[in-house]
Chains A and B, each alone.
Chain A
Amino acid sequence: MIPTLADLKARGFPNPTWLVLSLVGLAVGTSVIVILLSWGEGLSIALEEGTNKTGKNLVLCFLGRISKDRAGPAGPRRIWLTREDVSFVRRRARGIELAVAESRAWKPVGAGPKSVTIDVRGVEAAIESIRDTRVVAGRGISELDVQRRAAVAVIGSVASNRLFGSASPLGERIEIDGRPFRVVGILEDPSGDLIRDRTLQSEQVWIPISTFFSIGPRYGSDIDIVDVLLFRVRSDRPYSEAVREVRRLLTSRLEVGEHDRDALQFVTALDVLRRLPIAAVPRFLALLGVVAVSISAIGVSSFMALSVHARRHEIALRKALGARELRLLTRFAAEGGGLTLFGGCLGLLLGLAVCNVIERLDTPEILPIPVVQSGVLMIAMGVVALSALLTAVVPAYHAVRVDPSAAFRSAS
């Protein structure tokens, strides 16, 4: 069924090389569509998994400043959140299942003669649960640590490396702001830590939030300020509704306007990821595949138009001998559309084969593998079908327009 170049030449095709190039373009374009869309699919899935790793249904609430246009005569004031506010939210919000306070500051941290600046977090015991992480050695910050303002610290691997090199930090003494702490645990390195919340978890040191407050007042105030409220939306509740509920609770308690986006900022892992256009990149690139297929289809159809032109005497003769237009039309439509379908199917198979090969390759975890979904195939087939339609209609149209009286005027 596959015509050879010699066949094509004998059948009056004007330039078979051109046709072959167009068909190659079609096949490559189609395979590019399949590969890139599948890869994009794989990337989205990997990103979603990353989100789950970062903390499922995790929402971060940051405190800001009342915006100018909403502030009263006193002018814009900074608003605070305390641990009492956090317990209030924990008690009252029905759409969430966990609420944790966190404070943070860049602090000088020393170990022996070494001293480095580290992102120190004052945390509550539930932090591991809400950030969906764990301690890989030793123990985490406990409820008791928080109650007793224990001078204990849990350290990330990068921070540990900076302070202790390759030696184990467990049980070692460190100084934060000149105060002695004992390292009781080492934090896990989350592999899919896709949101970088100021620093990566591995670069941080965690201490009990109560101890954190006791190190010294910040912002020139004696209030123990919570910088971030982390909460987890109950999995059976809609995300946005729960966020709205917390916003309402806090705005009325803090007496700020409910719609003041400057005062309270809610960040969800999902939001952050959605804002990243990473997954859209392969999809965008797949458009290039669509362009390639379209250009190739135009190539095939202009080739077919030329081929009809080259055979116009034959077509005129056949018409003169009594061939109905529909008969010639279907013949040329089938020829043009068939060529395109042939190239497109080749491309589909090529794309699937490439996806399969990539899947089998031993790629590093960071490189997502393509995931071929039926939707992707449908899109590719749709593009091919549209192109086939184009390459069917163009020659058919030209064939119908051949004037049968040309039979008398041919010079062959």
Chain B
Amino acid sequence: MSSSAEPILELKKVEKQVRGPFGCLRILKGIDLIVPRGQFLAVTGPSGSGKTTLLEILGCLSRPSSGDYLLGGRSVAKASSNELADLRASSIGFVFQSFNLLARLTARQNVELPLAYQGVPTAERQARALDALSAVGLESRADHPTPAMSGGERQRVAIARAIVGRPPLLLADEPTGNLDAANGAQILQLLSSLPVGRRTLIMVTHDPQVAARADRIMELRDGEFVAERCE
């Protein structure tokens, strides 16, 4: 475990509750977590245990109901929505199970989106998007519309989009969930080869073989960490 480095993020007694039709639902029940920079952390657990909810908080897409979240040493639990948007643009890359590409844009335009929100000028945006696409081996498909691509290719475009802004933190929610074994393995290979140096990867997965590649595995059950294993 490469815990010698200073942590990129820290969760302190993070709770998440939602008000549903049948009263208050506690999804996360006091999560404590410290993730060092550069770590590949796999989060496993049964369906409905709160994995995605945890990623949402880590990705600054929602705020914890209580507790504190430090990202890069800074508390973001009570940040404004603009501050969160800026944090997402500058520090976090997302890979989703369902790719989440905009169908009417080309691969390159999709990859450029986070740069646009960071205010990167157009010329630089295009160059960096092509860089990112070549990192996932899709340079030649840059100007193709994404709906015409295979699932594996689309997920590679999504990975290019996640890394194009060079965020220190990558969050992936079952990135192989919609892919067959071969494509899934390729994506996994790609992702686990990415967090070189100081890039941190947190991946939610059901697949024990995928988890086996991680530096550290944590199991979530009913909103609480129940087991931790380090490779």
Residues of A near any B CB (own CB < 8 A): 10-11, 313-314, 317-327, 403-405, 407-412
Q: What CA separation (Å) do A317 and B52 show in the bound complex?
A: 15
* Distance A323 CA – B84 CA, assembled complex (angstroms): 10
- 20 new A-B contacts, CB < 8 A, other than A314-B102, A410-B100, are A11-B104, A313-B100, A320-B88, A320-B94, A321-B88, A321-B89, A321-B94, A321-B113, A321-B117, A322-B88, A322-B165, A323-B85, A323-B117, A324-B85, A324-B117, A325-B81, A325-B85, A403-B62, A405-B56, A407-B61
Chain B nearest CB from A28 CB (Å) reads 32
User: Given A314-B102, A408-B55, A410-B100, does the pair A322, B85 have CB atoms closer than 8 Å?
Assistant: yes
- The digit string for B60-96, where 1 denotes a CB below 8 A from any CB of A, is 0110000000000000000001100110111000101
Residues of A within 8 A of B117 (CB): 318, 321-324, 327
A322-B164 Cα distance, complex, nearest whole Å: 13
Bound Cα distance from A411 to B97, whole angstroms? 9
Asked if B173 is at the interface of the complex by the 8 Å CB criterion, the answer is: yes
Task: Tell me the smallest distance from the CB of B166 to a CB of chain A, in Å.
Answer: 13
With known contacts A321-B89, A322-B114, A323-B85, A407–B100 Cβ distance under 8 A = yes
Does B118 sit at the interface, judged by CB under 8 A? Answer: yes
Contact of A407 among B86, B89, B94, B161 (CB under 8 A): B94
Q: Is B38 an interface residue (CB 8 A)?
A: no
B84: nearest chain-A partner, CB-CB: A404
Q: Is B36 an interface residue (CB 8 A)?
A: no
Q: Is B183 an interface residue (CB 8 A)?
A: no
Q: What residues of B have a CB within 8 angstroms of the CB of A319 in the complex?
A: 61, 85, 88
Residues in A neighbouring B104, C-beta threshold 8 A: 10-11
Question: What are some 16 contacts across the A-B interface (CB < 8 A)?
Answer: A318-B117, A320-B59, A320-B88, A321-B113, A321-B114, A321-B161, A322-B85, A322-B89, A322-B165, A323-B89, A324-B82, A325-B85, A403-B62, A405-B62, A408-B56, A408-B96
> With A10-B104, A404-B61, A410-B98 as given contacts, are A322 and B56 in contact (CB-CB < 8 Å)?
no
Question: With a CB–CB cut-off of 8 A, which chain A residues contact B89?
Answer: 321-323
Residues of chain B touching chain A, judged by Cβ–Cβ distance below 8 Å, are 52, 55-56, 59, 61-62, 81-82, 85-86, 88-90, 94, 96, 98-100, 102, 104, 113-114, 117-118, 161, 165, 173
Docked Cα-Cα span, A323 to B56, in Å, equals 16
Among B52, B81, B85, B113: residue with most chain A CB under 10 A: B85
Q: In the complex, A325 Cα to B59 Cα: how many Å?
A: 17
Expressed in whole angstroms, the minimum distance between the Cβ of B167 and any Cβ of chain A is: 10
Contacts of A318 in B (CB 8 A): 113, 117
Complex interface: chain B residues within 8 A of A412 (CB): 98-100
Closest residue on chain A to residue B93 by CB atoms: A321
Beta-carbon nearest neighbor of B61 in chain A? A405
Q: Whole-angstrom distance between the alpha carbons of A325 and B52 in the complex?
A: 23
Q: How far is the CB of B145 from chain A (nearest CB, A)?
A: 11
For B99, list chain A residues within 8 Å (CB).
412
Contact residues in A for B55 (Cβ distance below 8 Å): 408
A317 near B100 (CB under 8 angstroms)?
Answer: yes
By a CB distance below 8 angstroms, the chain B residues around A407 are 61, 94, 96, 100
Give Cα distance in the complex from A405 to B85, angstroms.
12
Smallest distance from the beta carbon of B132 to chain A beta carbons, Å?
Answer: 13
Please, which residues of chain B bring their CB within 8 A of the CB of A11? 104
Bound: A320/B171 CA distance, A: 12
A322 touching B90 in the complex, CB below 8 Å, given contacts A408-B61, A409-B52: yes
Closest 8 CB pairs of A and B: A322-B89, A322-B117, A405-B61, A405-B56, A322-B88, A321-B114, A404-B61, A324-B85
Bound together, the chains give a CA A10 to CA B102 distance in angstroms of 11
Within 8 Å CB of A404, what residues of B?
61-62, 88
Contacts of B86 in A (CB 8 A): 322, 324
Residues of chain A with a CB closer than 8 A to B98's CB: 410-412
Chain B residues with CB under 8 Å of A320's CB are: 59, 61, 88, 94
- A266 CA / B64 CA spacing, docked (Å): 80
Q: How far is the CA of A227 from the CA of B114 in the complex (A)?
A: 90
Which residues of the partner chain A approach B81 to less than 8 Å between Cβ atoms?
A: 325
- Which residue from chain A places its CB closest to the CB of B99 in the assembled complex? A412
A411 cross-chain contacts in B, Cβ below 8 A? 98
* Residues in A whose Cβ lies below 8 Å from that of B90: 322
A324 to chain B, nearest CB (A): 5
Q: Is the CB of A322 within 8 A of B118?
A: yes
- Which residues does chain B contribute within 8 Å of A314, judged by CB atoms? 102
B165 CB contacts on chain A under 8 angstroms = 322
Q: What is the CA–CA distance of A368 and B96 in the complex, to the nearest angstrom?
A: 68
A308 to chain B, nearest CB (A): 15
**Which residues of B are found within 8 Å of A321, using beta-carbon distances?**
88-89, 94, 113-114, 117, 161
**Chain B: CB-nearest residue to A403:** B62
A319 to B89, CA, bound (A): 9
> B104 — nearest CB in chain A belongs to which residue?
A10
Residues in chain A near residue B59, CB distance under 8 A: 320
Interface centre among A319, A322, A407 (most CB of B within 10 A): A322
The chain A residue with its CB closest to the CB of B161 is: A321
Query: Closest CB of chain B to A11's CB: distance in Å?
Result: 7
CA distance A324 to B85 in the complex (A): 6
How far, in whole Å, are A151 and B102 apart by their CA atoms in the complex? 99
Residue of B nearest to A324 (CB): B85
Given the complex of chains A and B, what is the CA–CA distance between A121 and B58 in angstroms? 99
